[in-house]
Amino acid sequence: MAKKEVDDRFKKFGTVSFTAITKTNDFVDYLEKGKVMGTKCKDCGALYFPPRSDCSKCLDSNMEWFEVSGTGKLMSFSELKYGPVGFEDDLPYTIALLDYGNHKVFGRISKEIPFEDLSIGMELKTKTTTLPNGQLGYVFERV
Amino acid sequence: MGKVGIIGVGQSSFVRGYPGSIRELAFDGFKEAMQDAQIQTKDIDASIIASAPEYDKQRSPAGVIAEYLGLIPQPTFYIESICSSSSTAVKVAYSMIKAGLHDVVAIIGFQKMSEISSSESQERMGRGADIQWESPFGTMMPAYYAMYAQAHMDKHGTTLEDLARIRVKAATYGQINEKAVYRKPVSMEMFTDPESNFSAPVAKPLRVGDCCANADGSSCIILANEKKAKAMSKKPVWVLGIGAASEAVNMAGRDLLTGLTVGIEAGKQAYAMAGVTPKDIDVAEVHDCFTIAEMMAYENLGFAQPGEGKDLIASKETYKEGSIPVNVDGGLLSKGHPIGATGGSQIRTIVLQLRDEAGEMQVKDPEIGLVHNIGGVGLYGNVTILGR
């Protein structure tokens, strides 16, 4: 008998993924196509980033994908000089939070932006990236 | 319904590399609390064991520890909310006593963090955040708090010097706390001296000097209903108010980056339940895992207006002689932060203060004390108000 196929696409997300199986696995396919996607509840219109497969507002599971587009305001950031196990080769790197108005996105700042150039309130955009180890992710870039 | 009182408090020394197992570590804090309460194990009706489970090899530590402490066949429960585990256990014990299920409940918090390396420990703490959507970016505790520091500095003009002042205060008292892991003095110059590791960045803008030390340790708090507390204890300290709150695990779910909403919300609940205001607090223990965390706690608890925490520390109002002494036992910064034991240790400090037994650290004649204990990066928050 053939082994049951496991949909573990999510293990491709980020430098080290700690999750392999999730109903939001399509997020990874979208990353491969160059799109960073959140989810929207078809019933009540609630927007979610990071994406969710279930709506906590109306307790329904009727979601559709939307693309994170345009620019977001930099809410805060921090450059790490030490990393957890598995991230040593990436150091130093800068994590950050962008505010898109109706949702926010947490991620990393592109290494192409010098740390000194960062300031809270500046506009950045979210772009997909392939990491040096072949994993998929996204970074915040200059507009 | 009667009151709930604290009749015994204890903690182990907080140390690097405790030379024993988790049950032996738990014993140290428990023994001190039992000697303090002057009761026997048969007087305890139930125990709650609190820790963050990922640091130990033992699965379900509650049973193992309850047996080692002589607390069987009484029921034992396991509670975890990362760094706020033992104060969460206080809320559970309080509820059980109020419900009349148990008369006397012992809370034993512990953490033996030294069996894993510091970076592994950080990685586990990072997994206290959102492992699906954030940990893949390589997040760590200091970096999350650093984002709060960056936002606070941007909005309120808080400086690195302001943050360093909080560390200097912690060390003032860490030096005289014989249970503290870090007992050396700290000067403002260490934060600017390139030769000192205190000035080395960990996650900008936070430096080594802004971060608390990992430590192994245990704590124990024994609670009783009013009747038993009065019969068993000469100086019971009463639980006047308890507040607890939770927040989005993912940073993307948060609106406020200059304070912790769980601290604000739990504080409001505790003040309302106790019928007191921030001005009534005579001594406080706040969760200073990082200097910025104490700065935000001043503001979130109403000791200072938003953005004015820096003035409170600059004028030394949070020193022992000031208007609102905070962390005059060295705090997590100097005392150390053994995750599951921390809340119980904070409560012990306030109980000793209210009993006028804090020795060199004693604040003058306090009547009402407050304990603010945070789990994760403001994921969980507990505020407990105690009175004599």
Domains in chain B: ranges and CATH: 4-116+214-232 (3.40.47.10)
Give the pLDDT of residue A85. Answer: 84
Q: Measured over all CA atoms, what is the biggest interatomic distance in chain B, rounded to whole angstroms?
A: 59
Checking DSSP bridges between strand B368-375 and strand B217-225, what pairing results, if any? unpaired
Q: Alpha carbon of B70 to those of A75, B63, B64, B229, B348: distances in Å?
A: 52, 11, 10, 21, 22
Residue B209 has pLDDT above 80, yes or no: yes
> Which residue among A52, A67, A82 closes a domain?
A67
Q: Please list every residue in chain B whose beta carbon sits closer than 8 Å to the beta carbon of residue A96.
A: 147
Phi, psi of B30 (to 5 degrees): -65, -45
pLDDT digits (tens, 9 = 90+) for A113-136: 999 999 999 999 999 999 999 999
pLDDT digits (tens, 9 = 90+) for B270-301: 999 999 999 999 999 999 999 999 999 999 99
State the sign of the Cα–Cα–Cα–Cα dihedral B131, B135, B137, B142.
positive
pLDDT digits (tens, 9 = 90+) for A8-29: 999 999 999 999 999 999 999 9
What residue numbers bound the domain in which A109 lies?
Answer: 72-142
**What does A60-113 look like in DSSP terms, one character per residue?**
---EEEEE--S-EEEEEEEEESS--TT-GGG-SEEEEEEE-SS-EEEEEE-TTS
Residue A73 has pLDDT above 60, yes or no: yes
Does the residue A2 lie in any domain? no
Pick the residue from chain B with its C-alpha nearest to A99.
B252
Residue A106 has pLDDT above 60, yes or no: yes
Min distance A19 CA to chain B CA atoms (Å): 6
Pick the residue from chain B with its C-alpha nearest to A12.
B136
Give the pLDDT of residue A5. Answer: 85
Does the residue A4 lie in any domain? no
Q: Could you tell me if A16 and A47 lie in one domain?
A: yes
Q: Could you tell me if A110 and A54 lie in one domain?
A: no
Q: Could you tell me if A80 and A138 lie in one domain?
A: yes
Interchain CB distance below 8 Å, A104 and B251: yes
ipTM: 0.96
Give the pLDDT of residue B275. Answer: 98
Mean pLDDT of B308-323: 98
Give the pLDDT of residue B126. Answer: 63
Give the pLDDT of residue B298. Answer: 98
The answer to whether B299 touches B306, Cβ cutoff 8 Å, is yes
Does the residue A17 lie in any domain? yes
Q: Could you tell me if A63 and A83 lie in one domain?
A: no
Residue B111 has pLDDT above 90, yes or no: yes
Mean pLDDT across chain B, nearest whole number? Answer: 96
Q: Could you tell me if A90 and A58 lie in one domain?
A: no
Q: Could you tell me if A102 and A56 lie in one domain?
A: no
Give the pLDDT of residue B252. Answer: 97
Confidence of residue B123 (pLDDT cuts 50, 70, 90): low
Q: Could you tell me if A95 and A53 lie in one domain?
A: no
Min distance A26 CA to chain B CA atoms (Å): 14
Q: Could you tell me if A57 and A78 lie in one domain?
A: no
Helix B141-156, helix B291-300: angle, nearest 10:
50
Give the pLDDT of residue B58. Answer: 85
Confidence of residue A69 (pLDDT cuts 50, 70, 90): very high
d(CA B323, CA B316): 9
List, by residue number, the catalytic residues of B.
Answer: 83, 337
Q: Please list every residue in chain B whose beta carbon sits closer than 8 Å to the beta carbon of residue A121.
A: 154
Does the residue A126 lie in any domain? yes
pLDDT digits (tens, 9 = 90+) for B342-352: 999 999 999 99
Beta-bridge partner residues of B326: B284
Give the pLDDT of residue B54. Answer: 83
pLDDT digits (tens, 9 = 90+) for B229-279: 999 999 999 999 999 999 999 999 999 999 999 999 999 999 999 999 999
Tokens of B382: 């507990």
Q: Could you tell me if A80 and A121 lie in one domain?
A: yes
Interchain CB distance below 8 Å, B147 and A104: no
Residue B276's SS3 state is coil
Residue B95: partners with Cβ closer than 8 Å, 6 or more residues away: none
Residue B386 has pLDDT above 60, yes or no: yes
Q: Please list every residue in chain A whose beta carbon sits closer than 8 Å to the beta carbon of residue B149.
A: 78
Of B122, B205, B252, which is closest to A106 when you measure between CB atoms? B252
Q: Please list every residue in chain A whose beta carbon sits closer than 8 Å to the beta carbon of residue B158.
A: none
Q: Could you tell me if A51 and A105 lie in one domain?
A: no
Interchain CB distance below 8 Å, A77 and B257: no
d(CA B209, CA B201): 9
Give the pLDDT of residue A1. Answer: 54
Number of domains observed in the structure of chain A: 2
Does the residue A134 lie in any domain? yes
d(CA B382, CA B380): 7
Checking DSSP bridges between strand B104-111 and strand B46-50, what pairing results, if any? parallel
Interchain CB distance below 8 Å, A78 and B146: yes
Does the residue A3 lie in any domain? no
Q: Could you tell me if A78 and A55 lie in one domain?
A: no
Confidence of residue B128 (pLDDT cuts 50, 70, 90): low
Interchain CB distance below 8 Å, B138 and A22: no
Residue B143 has pLDDT above 60, yes or no: yes
- Tally A–B CB contacts below 8 A: 120
Confidence of residue B57 (pLDDT cuts 50, 70, 90): confident
Give the pLDDT of residue B30. Answer: 98
Higher per-residue confidence, B128 vs A104: A104
State the sign of the Cα–Cα–Cα–Cα dihedral A27, A31, A37, A43.
negative
Q: Alpha carbon of B370 to those of A68, A123, B195, B271, B381: distances in Å?
A: 43, 41, 38, 10, 13
Confidence of residue B22 (pLDDT cuts 50, 70, 90): very high
d(CA B5, CA B355): 13
Residue A108: partners with Cβ closer than 8 Å, 6 or more residues away: A93, A94, A95, A96, A137, A139, A140, B137, B138
Checking DSSP bridges between strand A136-142 and strand A104-109, what pairing results, if any? parallel
Min distance A100 CA to chain B CA atoms (Å): 10
d(CA B237, CA B350): 9
d(CA B88, CA A47): 32
The single-letter code of the amino acid at B273 is M
DSSP state of B258: S
> Which residue among A22, A47, A67 closes a domain?
A67
> Which residue among A49, A67, A85 closes a domain?
A67
Of A15, A49, A85, which is closest to B136 when you measure between CB atoms? A15
DSSP state of B319: S
Q: Could you tell me if A107 and A133 lie in one domain?
A: yes
d(CA B287, CA B293): 7
Min distance B119 CA to chain A CA atoms (Å): 5
d(CA B160, CA B165): 9
Beta-bridge partner residues of B384: B242, B371
Q: Alpha carbon of B19 to those of B113, B115, B344: distances in Å?
A: 12, 11, 21
Q: Please, where are the H alpha helices in chain B?
A: 22-37, 61-68, 85-98, 118-126, 141-156, 160-174, 226-232, 261-274, 291-300, 309-314, 331-335, 342-354
Confidence of residue B213 (pLDDT cuts 50, 70, 90): confident
d(CA B217, CA B12): 6
Residue B115 has pLDDT above 80, yes or no: no
d(CA A137, CA A32): 9
d(CA B289, CA B332): 6
Does the residue A62 lie in any domain? yes
Does the residue A129 lie in any domain? yes
